Amino acid sequence: MHDAIRASLPELVQWLPWAIGYDRSVAQRFVRESASAWNDGRAFDFALRLPDEPDFHVGNVSVWPTSMPNRIGEIGYWIRSDLTGEGLGTEATARALQIGFEELEYHKVILRIAAGNERSDRIAKRVGFNYDGMLRHEVRVGDNWLDHSAWSVLELEWPGIKRQLRADGLLRRR
């Protein structure tokens, strides 16, 4: 994971606060916290790997609850820069959405995307998220406050979206 992050930093620092000033200890802390968060149900972080190269870290996708009483969860992701543009981000997001509805039983799954992150906007649209609006100064990345667009899928929309994702080959039958 460290190698994948290091090779992707010029892209990651534009959008993800943890990438600023990144060093190996950030990855080590993430792995430790990830394991305890998984055990406590606070977050579910997945390492993305290709079936024929299981030791090569491709990126991460995470699903976590933002409101337990309302059963709302959020998805976040990054893909190593030398493997972008191959559909991996879209496929990982589709699968995380499925986990959100079918395993974690969320009522709503949201995405927040920094204004200007067009590739990520395209993932949201392609997967079938609804555009809900713009949140002002939602996240500080370095010295900049970034507005974020808010996107969501509701539980009742999931069956139709799932059918479409399968038809598009973005979700495998399991």
Residues that bind ligand COA (CB under 6 A): 11-12, 15-16, 77-79, 84-90, 113, 117, 119-120, 122-123, 126
Least distance to ligand COA from the beta carbon of 119, Å? 4
Strand bridging mode 72-79 / 53-67: antiparallel
Q: Which is nearer to ligand COA, 75 or 156 (CB)?
A: 75
Q: Which is nearer to ligand COA, 105 or 172 (CB)?
A: 172
> Which residue's beta carbon is nearest to the bound ligand COA?
89
Q: Which is nearer to ligand COA, 86 or 103 (CB)?
A: 86
Least distance to ligand COA from the beta carbon of 55, Å? 19
The C-alpha atoms of residue 117 and residue 163 are separated, in whole angstroms, by: 27
Q: How many CB atoms lie within 10 A of CB 22?
A: 17
Q: Which is nearer to ligand COA, 151 or 158 (CB)?
A: 151
